Amino acid sequence: MFLRPRTAGSLRAFLRAYSTAPSPHALVFLEHRQGVIDSASLSALTAAEQLGGQITGLVVGGPEHVPGVVEKAKKLKGRRSPLLLEKLLSDSSPFTHVVSAHTASAKSLLPRVAARLDLPAISDITSLEHDSAANSTTFTRPIYAGNAIATVRAPSSIRIKFFTVRSTAFSAAPSTETAAEDKAVEPVEVDEPPTEHVQTLLTKSDRPDLGVASRVVSGGRALKNAETFESTLYPLADLLGAAVGASRAAVDAGYADNSLQVGQTGKVVAPELYMAFGISGAIQHLAGMKDSKLIVAVNKDPDAPIFQVADVGLVADLFEVVPELVKKLKE
Amino acid sequence: MRPSAVRLLNILVPVKRAVDYAVKIRVNPQQTGVDLNVKHSMNPFDEIAVEEAVRLRERLKDAVKSIKVVTIGPPKAAETLRTALAMGADSALHVEIPESAPAPEPLGVAQALRAIIQREKEGEGVDLVIMGKQAIDDDAGQTGQMLAGLLGWGQATFASKVDVDTSAKTATVMREIDGGSEEIRCRLPLVVTTDLRLNEPRYASLPNIMKAKKKPIEKFTAEDLGVDFTPRLETLKVTEPPTRVGGGKVESVDELVAKLKEAGFTAV
């Protein structure tokens, strides 16, 4: 999984540096797919800016993608390379923080690199504050599926503070006209990588990406089957320009793809509007959506826990409500 | 690497005793943590890891030589080991920490697991570590990656399917990634972390629970392993999240539409 043989020899990375205040100096791992920087990484940049120091973006990938991404990164305020990161973070490195979004690939990568350097890591932070004088950084992060918030401090004894950022807790860094310099980093050659990539299967969808959508229409077990899930929820989602999400029950029952799962073990979303249809509201599901601005719940069971967090609840059969909703929203 | 040509699989499954997933947790008044006088059980992702190890044996038969489970925790964590033994593990290792000690951080746990694996090398060795992708208490999701990093082994995180080829000494793993899934082929030894999708853990039958009582549990201390569990990060406080107040119910779809429009949500 980590250095794919076909790209291992051609890994190129570029560094971008702002020349502003001295320490701290954050290295932000910028993820990209097909030449576009992930919006979650833009949120990680915002978090890094709150440290109040220099920021360097690291873009890693094949030579066909990297230059384009770097061009974009400079205007902003495939990619697996633990060895490269390790080298960049050697004893003489200027970096005080390593930052990434809390995405599948960064979650896999960062703790590994941190451990190689005998450093702890902090996952999924929702806020941070850096004390330059004490060289310590204080973070908040949800624990117990978001039912408690821990405030942890990484003291100065931790040479480099590794953390991943919950993207819904930070806005995306905007583009600016300030250009930053970039420089290429020598790729690291790996003999006999222990892992090779075989294939990637992405779920194709014309709808907005669940993680960043401003509106989400979500369905649970009450949707009965995959056909009714689609035929009921998709027209409403399309009408609202919303992404489609699902509870674990709906995913397990095969009504929706795994990648649509919202919750502690799936995606954490915080859209402007979250509509939950036929979702009871288990702790694990609430962990993934309770920071949404407006929560609408439709459920037949008046005692469903989802109603305790919903701003607007309607006790009714979703199979009657959704078509009526579609009709009336069109008017 | 042992010299024998026929390599049998020795699997190590780290498990954690955690507050049961269905418990509504409460932050303690001192704001130092959560009230732990509640039902505990095996971390759900670890149950999946144990189940996967047992299923590998069912598929590969004698090619799986041993399944060992290990936990790092207070004396009560032995119950979690018994559960894993009842599910089909052969033996267990318990790194005991005092009841009052703070929970070890992922890095400390990974270092202890590395020490265990190095110790196992004198005997059968370990070819495959299967563990949960995250514990549902601290939600860090780091230990597996850290262990793989410390050992310099390959890693396959968020696994939804694992196939082991004992003759080629490789594993083909399907991983859950953002936006879909990814298939990778890894050389053994390897660390796999489990996604919920990997399998449906079995319930231990009463006879197996009885049999598990006779299976060996070996005990260690942090000192035995030469590891230090002192947290490197300082937990300043633990607080309740802001409570969300439900806005009440509406009676009809018309009212619902009115509320949506009022908040500015219309068809695009």
CB-nearest to B234 from A153, A201, A330 is A153
Residue A263 half-sphere exposure toward CB, CA atoms < 13 A: 24
> Quick check: B171 and B128 in contact, CB under 8 A?
yes
**Is A91 exposed, middle or buried (CB count within 10 Å of its CB: 0-12, 13-18, 19+)?**
exposed
Work out the pLDDT band at A74, boundaries 50, 70, 90: low
Interface check B22 vs A, CB under 8 A: yes
Q: How much is the pLDDT for A178? A: 63
Whose structure tokens read 């998709």?
A234
Does A151 carry a binding-site annotation? no
- CATH code for residues B9-243: 3.40.50.620
Does A53 carry a binding-site annotation? no
Q: How much is the pLDDT for B214? A: 96
Interface check B266 vs A, CB under 8 A: yes
CB-nearest to A153 from B158, B184, B233 is B233
- Point out which residues pair with B128 in neighbouring strands: B11, B190
Determine, for residues B156 and A157 on separate chains, whether the beta-carbon distance falls below 8 Å: no
B184 sits in which H/E element:
strand B180-187
Determine, for residues A143 and B139 on separate chains, whether the beta-carbon distance falls below 8 Å: yes
pLDDT one-digit tens code per residue, B199-227 = 999 999 999 999 999 999 999 999 999 99
pLDDT tens, residue order, chain B (268 aa): 544 445 689 999 999 999 998 898 999 999 999 999 999 999 999 999 999 999 999 999 899 999 999 999 999 999 999 999 999 999 999 999 999 899 999 999 999 999 999 999 888 899 999 999 999 999 999 999 999 999 999 999 999 999 999 999 999 999 998 888 999 999 999 999 999 889 999 999 999 999 999 999 999 999 999 999 999 999 999 999 988 877 789 999 999 999 999 999 998 8
Q: Is the pLDDT of residue A8 over 60?
A: no
Work out the pLDDT band at A177, boundaries 50, 70, 90: low
Higher pLDDT, A167 or A152: A152
Range with the poorest average pLDDT among A60-64, A157-161, A193-197: A60-64
Q: With a CB-CB cutoff of 8 Å, which residues 139-168 of chain A face chain B?
A: 141-155, 157-158
Question: Mind telling me how many Å the CA of B238 is from chain A's nearest CA?
Answer: 4
- Residue A309, phi-psi category: left (phi > 0), alpha (psi -120 to 50), beta (remainder): alpha
Nearest to B251 by CA among A291, A279, A304, A321: A321
Work out the pLDDT band at A266, boundaries 50, 70, 90: confident
pLDDT one-digit tens code per residue, A189-206 = 676 778 888 888 887 778
Predicted ipTM of the assembly:
0.92
Q: Is the pLDDT of residue A293 over 80?
A: yes
Average pLDDT of span A54-66: 80
Interface check A72 vs B, CB under 8 A: no
Question: Mind telling me how many Å the CA of A180 is from chain B's nearest CA?
Answer: 30
* Structural domain boundaries in chain B: 9-243
